[in-house]
Amino acid sequence: MERPLTGSMRPDGLPLSIKDYEDKGGYQAARKAVTGMSPKEVQDLAKDANLRGRGGAGFNTGMKWSFVPMGDSAPRPKYFVVNADEMEPGTFKDRMLMEGNPHQLIEGTIIAAYAIEADISYIFLRGEYKICEKRLAAAIAEAYSRHYLGKKIFGSGYNLEMRLHTSAGRYICGEETALLNSLEGKRAIPRARPPFPQVSGLWGKPTVVNNVETLCNVPHIINNGAEWYKGLSRSQYGGTKIYGVSGRVKTPGLWELPMGTTIREIIWEHARGMREGYQFRSVIPGGASTEFLTEEHLDVQMDFDSMQKAGSRLGTGTMIVIDDHTCPVGAVHNLEQFFARESCGWCTPCREGLPWIANILHAIENGQGRPEDLEILAQHTDSLWLNKTFCALAPGAMEPLRSALQIFREDFIRHIKEGKCTYGKNGNNLH
């Protein structure tokens, strides 16, 4: 099984140096693209490979690039931004990619930036990712010293600067337009669309924002072509996916597997199943803002369409497993508390609604819930839905709640009826 993104990483967890990386074929793709392909050819290749964004929404990457105004009349400078904010609960795939092979991300960014003729690139990095910060800063310096960044890179006429920016740390900074505000030194609030960032983004100039994992795929597509890339996958979407599992499984972790691997395989073959004494009960498949799935969905393939058909989303592809000893009410309360705290406070339903949801869940968990609370919660899951709020944070927050109210209905009712949590002390956490 091919693992283009992680196969060349060192087993000891140290990063590949620029020499190691180049010995394994690194920077060949960037050289090939920048000196031998037109930006349009790079865009088309990404489209043909059917590369879809790994940041959560799954938009076709080549398509996204193609909306940028090109040529001499395009506004300048154009920007390329790497979204390395990774604050989705349960998600730690980008961190592994950056820690293990920072040059792979830099190379992918050079190619993607070239595809839109960007002048300046930024890596917007989660503030707590100190190891990534150190390794990326060192790798960027190495790339500059070999003229892979800066003026006339690879001896071509193309110039690209790269800057590393560490976030001051809020979940909303990962939303691409809030990220742009934050980069501009403004408060991280989302922007209205249209205009889309591809037309008017950072400082009003054309800008593309892509996720770390998305970009790490790009060099391999350039090197090996669209057909090879599609062949890696078990679904119609190209490539491999970094899947992750956390929760009470035997070996939590991350694996690079063909896109479209089933939930069952990931949990039982790769994470080696549940820990002794614990039963599988449910799973949030793609980070905290996706809907719970249960036993009946274990054979669903983890890809964009299959997950949607099953009533959830691929999201970030990193799952949180809920076992039979974990109180689902407590788990959902934990998540909603996170979202309520991270609401940027910009629009009414999210700012005022999420704290209420968290309060109500807190009350239910502590045995002070009222029968009508379930109705109020259900009403909120509807009023915080898509487009009713300014950005996708609140709808994302409603996905686990909405499904929990159905799947774990009996647990909610029991908490309210018996006036206590029946899972005991141990049940209130996700560890």
Partner 1 sequence: MNVRLEIDGKEIVAEPGMTVLEAAGRYGIRIPTLCYHKALGPYGVCRLCIVEADGPGLDRMVTTSCNLKATEGMSVETASPRIVAFRKTILDLLLSATVFSHPLNELAKAAGIRRSSFGTEKTDKCILCGLCVRVCRDSIGADALRFETTGENRWRVAEKIRLLKERCIGCGACAAVCPVAAIRFEDTGPARNILVYGDVANTLDLVACSMCGTPYATQASIDSVMARIDCELRKGIKKLCPECSRIIYAGALAGGFPPDVSGPGR
Ligand X SMILES: Cc1cc2nc3c(=O)[nH]c(=O)nc-3n(C[C@H](O)[C@H](O)[C@H](O)COP(=O)(O)O)c2cc1C
Long-range CB contacts (< 8 A, 24+ apart) of 410-419?
A: 411/327, 411/328, 411/329, 412/329, 412/364, 412/369, 412/374, 413/374, 415/329, 415/364, 415/365, 415/367, 415/369, 416/364, 416/369, 416/370, 416/371, 416/373, 416/374, 418/367, 419/367, 419/368
Q: Which of 26, 39, 55, 328 binds ligand X (CB under 6 A)?
A: 55
278 touches partner 1 (CB under 8 A): no
Among 252, 273, 349, 427, binds partner 1 (CB under 8 A): 349
- Residue ranges of alpha helices (H) inside 276-327 are 304-309
Per CB under 6 A, does 189 bind ligand X? no
388 interacts with partner 1 by CB under 8 A? yes
Q: Which of 125, 347, 361, 404 binds ligand SF4 (CB under 6 A)?
A: 347
Of the residues 45, 322, 391, 416, which one makes contact with ligand SF4 according to CB under 6 A: 391
393, 404, 416, 430: which one binds ligand X (CB under 6 A) = 393
Task: Give dist(CA 423, CA 416) in Å, integer.
Answer: 14
Q: Is residue 340 a contact point for ligand SF4 (CB under 6 A)?
A: no
The answer to whether 250 and 275 have CB atoms below 8 angstroms apart is yes
Site size for ligand X, by CB under 6 A? 25
**From the list 35, 279, 308, 383, which residue makes contact with partner 1 (rule: CB under 8 A)?**
383
- The stretch near ligand X (CB under 6 A) out of 81-89, 195-203, 271-279, 366-374 is 81-89
Q: Using the minimum distance from each CB to ligand SF4, give the nearer residue, 234 or 351.
A: 351
Q: In what order do the strands lie in the sheet with 280-284?
A: 253-258, 240-246, 318-323, 280-284, 293-294
Q: What beta strand segments (E) does 312-418 contain?
A: 318-323
> Taking the CA of residue 216 as centre, how many other CA atoms within 13 Å lie in the half-sphere pointing to its CB?
32
Question: Does residue 63 touch ligand X according to CB under 6 A?
Answer: no
Binding status of residue 258 toward ligand SF4 by CB under 6 A: no
Give the residue with the Cβ less far from partner 1, 204 or 424.
204
Q: Which of 7, 345, 419, 424 binds ligand SF4 (CB under 6 A)?
A: 345
Q: Kindly tell me which of 80 and 124 has the beta carbon lying closer to partner 1.
A: 124
- 39 upstream amide cis, omega within 30 of 0: no
Task: Determine the Cα–Cα distance for residues 117 and 110; give it in Å rounded to an integer.
Answer: 10
User: Does residue number 147 form part of the binding site for partner 1 (CB under 8 A)?
Assistant: no
Q: Which stretch binds ligand X (CB under 6 A): 130-138, 140-148, 385-393, 411-419?
A: 385-393
Residue 323: exposure state from Cβ atoms within 10 A (0-12, 13-18, ≥19) = middle
424 binds partner 1 (CB under 8 A): no
Write down the least CB distance from residue 398 to ligand SF4, Å: 10
Figure out which of the listed residues 390, 408, 412, 423 binds ligand SF4, where binding follows CB under 6 A: 390
